[in-house]
């Protein structure tokens, strides 16, 4: 029981926090849902970047693939939300696997450039295939059936919020189990020393491809969720800005842990929302200053703040004695 509290306690606290927020901000459910969707995207990036150590700035490629395929699936085939999420996950995984076969042979700046290039190509294809995707106007006309045949999507976004919260919880638990499983540990090992992992007989290349594919599937779920809840898919789903923002949220919160991305996403989205609402022209000052402050004072992300503060407190006592 104690071990259970220790490993799942913070997750439950976060869940209660999210539910509490929904009662505190009943008229901002769309915003909260948006945060939850970003949490899924940033979690997928954490698996790829924080655990497997693959630097990427193109996670939006899989997010967009999930969004467009889920949207098209809902319009042309079947409007069931859960089936749509599966389609989005498959689309993200397939794109990640195919591109990963080439991408995972490179590293560093080259890898970053290639991931950007893949997202840019997807963006351009979605833009040009106007008959299918609606091009720059976005994919419209997505009408979802009720979730599990029971909960219809409503105007306030109540269903959307609970649906997204359920999806986040499932993804979080899945990742928590995956990162503690031998596979997750081997990813950590690859991150820290690919040579040693190769020496003990791990196929580093295929582990990387697998991690990238699983990350792609999760990013696809995030995209599919966004398509279903907002009922529109825009070209922005493939944008470089989305990938870059997801990266900022991840590093802001702290990589290589699951609570870091959740925290980073919440803080970034709230600061962004608050700053942009107060001063639509100068909110970049606030974001820029926040990012710099975190890098300089909390290099391991906001999640390390309590530890750093304790050390600071202890240091102060030493200095005094």
Partner 1 sequence: MTLVLNIFVDGIAYGMILFMISVGLSVTMGLMQVVNLAHGGFALLGGTFAHWLAQENGVPFWPATVLAVVATVVISLPLERIIFRRIYGFGDLQQVLATIGLTFLMIASINLWQGSSLLSIPLPETLKQSVDLGFRTLPVHRLVVIAVGFASILGLWVLMDRTLFGIRLRAAVDNRGTASSLGIDTDWIFMAAFGLGAGLAALGGILGAEILPIDAYYPVRYMVLFLIVVAVGGMGSIFGSFIAALGIGLLETATRYIVPDFATIVFFIFVIILLALRPQGLLGRVGA
Binding site for partner 1 (CB under 8 A): 49, 55, 102, 105-110, 112-114, 116-118, 120-121, 124-125, 128, 240-241, 244, 247-248, 251-252, 255, 281-282, 284-285, 287-292, 294-296, 299
Closest CB to partner 1 among residues 230, 255: 255
Closest CB to partner 1 among residues 51, 161: 51
- Write down the least CB distance from residue 260 to partner 1, Å: 12
- Write down the least CB distance from residue 113 to partner 1, Å: 4
Closest CB to partner 1 among residues 241, 321: 241
Closest CB to partner 1 among residues 197, 247: 247
Torsion of CA 246, 249, 253, 259, to 10 degrees: -50
d(CA 316, CA 297): 17
End-to-end CA distance of the chain: 41
Helix (DSSP H) and strand (DSSP E) numbers for the chain: 14, 0
Beta-carbon contacts of residue 68 (< 8 Å; ≥ 6 apart): 91, 126, 133, 139, 223, 227, 233, 237
Q: Any bridge partners for residue 139, and if so which? A: 233
* Assigned token pair, 310: 């304790």
- Write down the least CB distance from residue 37 to partner 1, Å: 22
Closest CB to partner 1 among residues 14, 57: 57
d(CA 195, CA 184): 17
- Write down the least CB distance from residue 99 to partner 1, Å: 9
- Write down the least CB distance from residue 301 to partner 1, Å: 10
Q: Closest by alpha carbon to 226, among 288, 160, 162, 174?
A: 160
DSSP string, 120-161: HHHHHHHHH-HHHH-GGG-B----PPPBTTTB---SS-HHHH
Closest CB to partner 1 among residues 75, 287: 287
- Write down the least CB distance from residue 244 to partner 1, Å: 7
């Amino acid at each position: 029981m104690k071990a259970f509290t220790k490993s799942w306690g913070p997750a439950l606290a976060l869940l209660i926090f999210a539910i509490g927020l929904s009662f505190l901000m009943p008229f901002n459910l769309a915003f909260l849902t948006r945060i939850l969707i970003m949490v899924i995207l940033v979690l997928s990036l954490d698996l790829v970047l924080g655990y497997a150590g693959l630097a990427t700035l193109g996670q939006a490629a899989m997010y967009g693939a999930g969004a467009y395929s889920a949207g098209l699936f809902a319009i042309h085939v079947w409007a069931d939300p859960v089936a749509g999420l599966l389609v989005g996950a498959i689309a993200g995984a397939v794109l990640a696997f195919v591109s990963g076969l080439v991408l995972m042979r490179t590293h560093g700046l080259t890898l970053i450039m290639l991931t950007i290039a893949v997202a840019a190509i997807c963006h351009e294809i979605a833009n040009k295939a106007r008959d299918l995707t609606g091009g720059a106007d976005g994919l419209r006309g997505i009408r979802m059936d009720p979730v599990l045949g029971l909960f219809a999507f409503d105007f306030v976004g109540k269903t959307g919020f609970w649906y997204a919260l359920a999806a986040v919880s499932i993804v979080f638990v899945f990742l928590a189990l995956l990162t503690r499983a031998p596979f997750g540990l081997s990813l950590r090992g690859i991150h820290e020393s690919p040579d040693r992992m190769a020496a003990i007989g791990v196929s580093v290349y295929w582990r990387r491809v697998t991690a990238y594919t699983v990350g792609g599937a999760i990013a696809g779920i995030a995209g599919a969720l966004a398509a279903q809840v907002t009922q529109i898919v825009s070209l922005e789903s493939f944008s470089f800005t989305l990938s870059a923002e997801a990266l900022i949220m991840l590093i802001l919160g702290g990589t290589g842990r699951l609570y870091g991305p959740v925290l980073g996403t919440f803080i970034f989205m709230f600061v962004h929302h608050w700053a942009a609402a107060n001063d639509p022209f100068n909110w970049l000052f606030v974001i820029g200053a926040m990012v710099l402050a975190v890098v300089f004072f909390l290099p391991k992300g906001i999640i390390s703040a309590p530890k750093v503060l304790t050390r600071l407190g202890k240091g102060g006592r030493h200095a005094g004695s």
